[in-house]
Every structure is written in C-alpha cells, then in structure tokens.
Chains A and B, each alone.
Chain A
Amino acid sequence: MIMKSSTAVAKMTLDGEEVGFTPGETVYEVAERHRREIPTLCYDPRLEPFGGCRLCVVELEGARAPVASCTTKAEPGMVIRTRTDAIDAHRRTLLELVASENRENDVDPLRGYASQELATLLDRYDARTGRFAGSHSGRTRDDDDNPFILRDYDLCISCYRCVRVCAEQQGDYAISIKNRGFATEITTEFSGLLRGSACVFCGQCVQTCPTGALADRKALANAEVPGKIEKTRTICPYCGVGCSVDVMTKGERVVGVQPAMDGPANEGALCVKGQFAFDFVHHHERLVKPWVRGEDGRLREASWDEALDRAAQGFLKAVAEHGRYSVYGIASGRAPHEAAYTMQKFIRMGFGTNQIDNCSRA
C-alpha cells in the first residue's frame, strides 16, 4: 500500500485533499486507501466492478450526475467529493428502497461471511424507516433441499455477487440471472435444483452474499446453540492447498467454517469439504473410546492400554513376518495438524519406512 502511493505520479483531489494514485486504480480504491467509508452492496474486491447497487456514487466535478466510484477509473485532476448532503440522501433513499423489497433484513451471522452488510448499512444510514412499501422481490426456493446451501431468495437484492463469484472465482457458471427488472431471480439452468446443476457446493456464493439470502445450512443448524460466535484462524486440514479458514465456535462447540478473504492460498475460496464438512467434530457416531474385537469377532469397548497393546502386537507381527515395508500409514484428513505430524513421525521413526501419506492429497 505504502509502496503504491509513493510510486504514484498522478494526482487527484479527494474531499479537498490532494492525493496520489496509480493509473488503473478506481476512484473507490483510491478513496478506500485514504480511509473513506464509501458504502457498497454489489462490490467484492475480488470481482470485476459491476456498478449495480449505486451506493458508491460520489460527486465528480464537471459531471452531470454523480458517478459510481467502483467503476470509475481515477484520472489526473479529478475532483471528487465522497460525502455531501445530496449524496448521503441518495444513499439513504437507495437503502430504504432495498430494505423495502425483502421479507426481513436482520439475519443470523452464521448465514455467511458477508451476511450482515445490508443490516449494517441500514443502521449506518438510519434507513429503517419503512418507507417505499410495496411488493417483495425474489422467491425462496423451499424445494431445494440440498444439505449445504439455503436459497432464501426472499432476501435477495439482485446484486449478482453470487453469479459473478461463481463465474469469475470458481469458474463454474452454475448460476445466472433469470428474467429482468423487479422480476429478476437467481437461477440455475432451467430453474432446477443446485444438485442437478453444475454447482460443486464450494460455498463462495454463500460467503459473498450481502444479505444472507444464500446461507450456510450446516452453520445455520447451530443458530440455537447459545453463546457468542468466536472465530479462530487456521488452515483447512483437508488437503495440501492450505486454504485459510476461520473456524467459528460458540463455547466448546464448532458451529461453522468461513473462508478467510485474506487467505493467501484461497482469497475467500474453499471447496465443499473445507466449507461444509466440519460437522463430524460433534457427530454422535464419532468414535470417542477405543474398541477391540473379541474372540467371538465382535467389537467391544476396551481400555486405551488394551487397545494400544493389541495394535502394537498386530504391527510387530506384520513387520516380523513381512518386513518393515509391509506397513503403510495414511493419516486422516479430519485429524488436526499436530496429529498428522505425530503420525508421520511414528511411521518414519517407529517402522523405519517413508511409506506415509495423507488421505486428502490434492
């Protein structure tokens, strides 16, 4: 950032202050770099600027009407005002209009990473006035019973971030824009279910949705779990890509996973496993005690000592009869990193073989 501005040669005026910029930057990017808080709803810094919500409009001296700062490239000599009474009034009207098309505007933050954006702006611009009442847009797809993504389009504000992230980031083109105007909907091919579409359930559309219209069903199942959501930054254990994630917990309970938008390997992307497959942690069928097979061939609960002895005997027997290369270790992708480390140490040091792998080699 500092590098960027110090090498900049071009200058423009931002709210009366002369600032430098790098050619190619948008007015929004320049303003954000200078700590202006310009509201947005259709903006996601990872995507091509779209210019749909119009909340980011600013005054450009000499222009007939305000311009969208997200799509306007900075140019030398531009005189920009990011906040005036008129601009604020337009932003408030736009927010009142958006609020008027939804069933509700306050949603559980477990729905998704960006799900609080609209509610936050409504508060910031004092836009919960109930003006502009009228029909609602969007239609929730109750029929789509896939286990991962709730398609609660009653809350959709047609920002198309989901469609654009699916195309531009995921490269999947599973969803698109149906109809036009107020009748616009987000759709799959032939209005079908996500399951029958090209969707790979990466969840990126969920995490960029600014209203929670697309929601993480797995996380939302924990909405009633008491306690505050805490986020812990870690790396997804499932494969070697190393996507950064924030694991959400309430007390001792893991309630969801969100991608880290600033994760160097993934920039907000995850795959279906990293995104949604966290519920094994508290799964009721999960093994929590050791079991051994008895003489009768049936499994019975055992003590750790008995179980470990039995396993050690098995390994030693195999090595004695067939040599050390008869052992091959595969660590579980669901185990924590510390366990994975210990596992490879155990195989290498314990058996003297390099035959160690992980189930989630990607």
Chain B
Amino acid sequence: MTVPTDKELSEHWRNEPAPLLPLLHAFHDRDGYLSDEAIDHVSQALKIPIAELYGTVTFYHHLSRREPGSHAPQGVAAPRVCMGPICSLRGGPAILEALKSEGATAMPCAGRCDEPVPVLRGAEVFVGMTPESSQARSSPMPPPNPDGVEECVFAAIREPGRAGIDGYRKTCGYEGLERAVAVSPDDVTEIISESQLAGRGGAGFPTGRKWKAVAEASGEPKTVVCNADEGEPGCFKDRAILDYDPHGLIEGMAIAAYASGATRGFIYLRYEYPETMNILERAIGEAEAAGYLGESILGKDFDFRIYLRRGAGAYICGEEGSLLNSLEGKHPFPRNRPPYPVTHGYENLPTVVNNVETLASVPHILRRGAEWYRGLGQNGHAGTKLISLSGDIRRPGNYEVPIGLPLQTLLHDWAGGPSDGRSIRAVTMAGLSGGFLAGDDLDVTLDEPSIRSVGSMLGAGGIMVFDDSRDMIAVAHAAMEFFAEESCGKCFPCRIGTQRLTERLAGGGQGQGPTDLTEWIDEVTDIGQTMKATSACGLGMAAPLITESLMRCFPRLVAEHVKS
C-alpha cells in the first residue's frame, strides 16, 4: 500500500464541506499522531492561522501530538482504555496498567457500558474485562423487553439484515420517506408536531417546532445535522441504532431535510465508534445508489446529500453550538444563544440539529401515524424513550421504554434487578448529567416531569446502577473529574467550579477545601448554585447535580468524607 503524501491528503479534503476534522484524522491515521509539519500543512491548506489551529488540535483528546513509540506498528496511535464510571469498576484500571507499555492512555466513557471494557485500537474496539479476554466484537443487540411492550425505534431492529438496504426495505424501510414526499413539507412537519416527538438528545425541544423554524428561516443552503456524538457517560443507545439500523437514521434525516428545506446533511459521529463509521459509510453509499439520497430523490424536486464527519474526543462537541463550531473547523467552544441554530447554524445558515434517536423515530411515525406514536407512552405521556442501562444490574443494555414507565419496573422486571444478595444503592440519571437518585426517589416514572420533581432529569436516557458495595464518594469524585476534564474552559463558573468540586470530592489525602463540615457544605453549595445559574452551557449547569444529589442522598457519607 502506498502512503499518501501531505499534498494528496489536503487536495482530497480541502474542497469538501467541513474539511478540518477529516483532514486532521487523515494525517493522524497515516502517522499515528499529528506532527508539527502536519499541522503546518493543514494550516496552509485550509487557511487557518497556525496558532489557532495548534490550540484547536490540543482541544481534542484523541489527537495525539506524540509520535507513537517503537513498540507500535507504523501509523497506529497508542491504545485508549475506557475509564468511564462503569469500566473503572469492571477492570479498566488493570487493563490500562497492562497496556502501559504500549503507551495506552485513559479515555472517558466510550459508550460500551453494556459490555465493558472497550479498548480503542486504531479502527477497532476490543472488549473484555481482563487484558487476556479482550477481543474485537460487534456491539450488543438491544435485548427485547420481557413484557412484549410495543416499541418504535427498536421495533424492527432485531430483524436479520436490517442494517443493509435490502433487509431494510424488506422490513418496510423507506416507506416513511415515500409517504413524506407524497405530501407537502408542511404536512410532514405537522405530523411530527402532532406526534409530540421531542428531542431525545437531552433538551427535549419539540421536533416539529424546530423543523418549522428552519423551514421558515431565510438563508440557503439549509442543513440537517445529526448529532451522533453520544459522549454522555453511561449512554450508548445511539450506537445501537447506528450499528443495527443505519438506514433508519438516513431515512429520518432525509425526511427532516424534505420538511425543513435542507439540501445538505452531516452526521457528527463520536470518535470512539470506529466500526460504526464503516457501517454508516456503507449505508450512505447504498442509499445514494438506490436514489434515496442525491438529486431528485424519489422523482421529486428534492436534493439531499449526507456527509459523515467524525469527532475527536471532546464531550462538549455534543453540545450543538460546540458541534457546529467543530464542523466549521473553529475552536469548539459552545456558541452564545440566541441566536439558535434554526436561524444561525452551520455556516450561520438555518440548521436542524437533531439527535440520532429523534431522527430514527421519524420514519416509524410517518409510516404508522402521529396518533400511534403518541399512544405508545404511559400515564398521559407521548411516545417512547431509549434507556441505556448499565452497572450493577443483571441484564444491562438498551431498552425502549414507554415514556412514563416506572423506573422500578425497568430496573427489576425488565433488567432483572441487582445480583443476588445485593441491593441498589443509587442510580444516575441522564448519564451523569442528572446526578444520583436513591431511596424513595427511585419511585419516579421515566418522564421529565416526574424526574425533574426530584431535582434531576431524564436527559439522554443513560441510567447507571450502583449497588451497596460501591463507594459513592469515589463514584461522585470520578463523575466530577469527568466534567472537569471535559469543561471547554470558555466560562468561569464551569472551568473553575468543576475543578474546585473535584478537589473537594477527592479522597485519599488528595482533597482540598475546608475540613469543617458546615464550611465544606457552604462552599460546595455556593459553587453549585452559581454554576447552575450562570454557566454558559448545559455542562456547567448539570455538573453540580452530582454534588447536590450526593449531599441530599448521602449526608452521612459526605460528613465522613469531610472528616477524613
């Protein structure tokens, strides 16, 4: 195989849309790291000032600046080992230690909590709880629920061959798009609005309203961005859709494009899903060949193309403003809002940003109707939600629950409860962003109003379970450390606050802060309240839910921690 030259790489990418990340990845894949010369070359090819590009490169933790050691095969970056909340309890530290000689580094939750511990090696993910058992494997299929409760997104995902276009079409694939283009764009948006589908990426904004705003906004070309960054620890539900139902997402994006008037689309995929990248590339190719993407789709005056872009190891790039800056090749700080992406999105033009799950629900809704979708919820709630369940639970995995299902039903009836002789001490909500629930709070139902009433949120739907053998202070410390590492550094409350809270949760003599309990609580509470009230984006607003819920659920543990 011939190694491409710098010039060949930059010539290939420089006139493509959103070229910075793929070009950096191309150099990184070729050399195993980003050399000064590579950064210099990219700076000139894309006309990005060199200092700015250098700074931006250091923002992304997967972009290594160190030449891989002699142990590594030519052009392969050092392995990265998941040290997320679940994997660090399931053998992550031992694996990291064992791979130190290969230059391995830790990475935050890599979205394989249902099958720990993922190790990222080049374009492959290995899993296993010991260094010896580690092997490359495709991700687990979502388990069916035991009650036979009707699903939407997962309804056909277990059909064999669903990931290929033939299998997809055999299971009613692209019928939703056909129905969509048979009516007007406004009618499509109306159906989505009636279904009460809301954003499944965390914020819960009504999807129909978002599409309508883009359709009505002036400026062209318009864009649909699929947010597949899935960086929230304990969340791996988008991965299941992308791996086993990629055409479901493509069809959803095409429908969103038709409804909003967009002609170009991006999928922003998190770096830690390399196999998913190949699956999506193939599916996009198949859809183009079959005429579901490209020009005059289904014989209509409707053009739409999808470009696949890969993140580079930054949780904040899941925040939509940061994601758009990242796509545009800018320093990936979140943007000030308003204006919102619906009017000032990609390249400052009207843009739909939707989560994978949101978009993958759309074809089913078009095919079966708004009323059907609304009816899938329980207790007056509309629709379904994917929950990524992991940790100290018998059957971890992705479950599609009716919105409004009692949490206890999911934990015990669907997923088998904790292992014998153990009880559940706490669960996290919204991955880590909703903090902890424990005790009576576990009687919530899985819908935003119920979960918000106990000071948390459902968010993207990651739930991690910790049984009574777990040290909750250590779990909280690791969680806060995650937010501190991922804080982008734009705003003061989050940049300094996540650091100070991490220091106050550290154990083993590493801690800083008051040793008097009242003073400790005062400091931690004041920092938390100011972060919640003044942070510039959701990361800084959510992080203090960790300390807030810790103090609420485990006051005795907190008192002991401060004393020691």
Contact = CB atoms under 8 A, between A and B. Distances in A.
Candidate in B316, B331, B498 with the most chain A CB atoms within 10 angstroms: B331
A173 B51 contact: yes
A298 to B, nearest CB: 51
Nearest to A57: B534
Interface string A190-217: 1100000110000000000000000000
A97 interface: yes
A174 interface: yes
Interface stretch (B288-296, B392-400, B522-530): B522-530
Interface string B508-551: 00001100000000010011011011111000010000000000
Contacts of B51: 173-176, 187-189, 197-198
Interface in B468-520: 484-493, 495-500, 503, 512-513
Interface in A34-84: 41, 49-55, 57, 65-66, 68, 71, 73
Contacts of A53: 491-492
A97 B534 contact: no
A260 interface: no
A54 B536 CA distance: 8
A157 interface: yes
Q: Which range contains the number of B residues in contact with the other chain?
A: 35 or more
Contacts of A246: none
Interface stretch (B5-13, B54-62, B113-121, B427-435): B54-62
Contact of B488 (A50, A93, A180): A180
B115 to A, nearest CB: 29
Contacts of B59: 177, 179-180
Nearest to A197: B51
Contact of B512 (A52, A134, A176, A181): A134
Nearest to B339: A73
Contacts of A167: 49, 52
A90 B491 CA distance: 14
B533 A181 contact: no
Given A133-B513, A176-B55, A177-B331, A189 B489 contact: no
A51 B486 CA distance: 19
Given A65-B533, A68-B536, A181 B55 contact: no
A94 B49 contact: no
Nearest to A65: B533
A100 B491 contact: no
A157 to B, nearest CB: 7
Contacts, number: 151
B495 to A, nearest CB: 6
Contacts of B493: 54, 94, 97
B541 A179 contact: no
A176 B52 contact: yes
Contacts of B182: none
B15 interface: no
A158 interface: yes
B331 to A, nearest CB: 6
A97 B55 contact: no
Nearest to B522: A131
A51 B536 contact: yes
A158 B536 CA distance: 14
B510 to A, nearest CB: 11
B55 A157 contact: no
Nearest to B541: A65
A358 interface: no
B55 A54 contact: no
A135 B489 contact: no
Given A53-B491, A135-B503, A181 B36 contact: no
A184 interface: yes
Contact of A90 (B55, B336, B499, B533): B533
Contact of A190 (B54, B331, B535): B54
Contacts of B338: 73
A328 interface: no
B534 A94 contact: yes
Contact of A66 (B58, B316, B336, B534): B534
Nearest to A132: B500
Nearest to A75: B338
B499 A181 contact: yes
B341 to A, nearest CB: 16
Contacts of B495: 158, 181-182, 184
B498 A181 contact: yes
Contacts of A348: none
Interface string B38-72: 01000000000111101110110000000000000
Given A181-B486, A187-B54, A132 B533 contact: no
A66 B493 CA distance: 13
B534 A131 contact: no
A135 B495 CA distance: 13
Contacts of B486: 180-181
A65 to B, nearest CB: 5
Interface in B340-362: none
Given A68-B336, A93-B527, A94-B530, A52 B536 contact: yes
A52 B503 CA distance: 22
A134 B484 CA distance: 14
Interface string B290-311: 0000000000000000000000
Given A133-B513, A134-B512, A182 B498 contact: yes
Contacts of B500: 97, 100, 132, 134
A29 interface: no
Nearest to A96: B526
B336 A71 contact: yes
A165 B489 CA distance: 18
Contact of A182 (B36, B39, B484): B484
B316 to A, nearest CB: 8
Q: Which 9 pairs show the lowest CB-CB distances between chains A and B?
A: A176-B55, A173-B49, A181-B487, A184-B489, A182-B499, A71-B336, A54-B534, A93-B530, A176-B51
8 contacts: A41-B492, A86-B533, A97-B493, A101-B496, A158-B492, A158-B495, A182-B489, A191-B54
Given A52-B491, A177-B331, A178-B58, 9 more contacts: A52-B490, A57-B533, A131-B526, A134-B499, A134-B503, A135-B503, A158-B492, A176-B55, A176-B56
Interface of A: 41, 49-55, 57, 65-66, 68, 71, 73, 86, 89-90, 93-94, 97-98, 100-101, 131-135, 137, 157-158, 167, 173-184, 187-191, 197-198
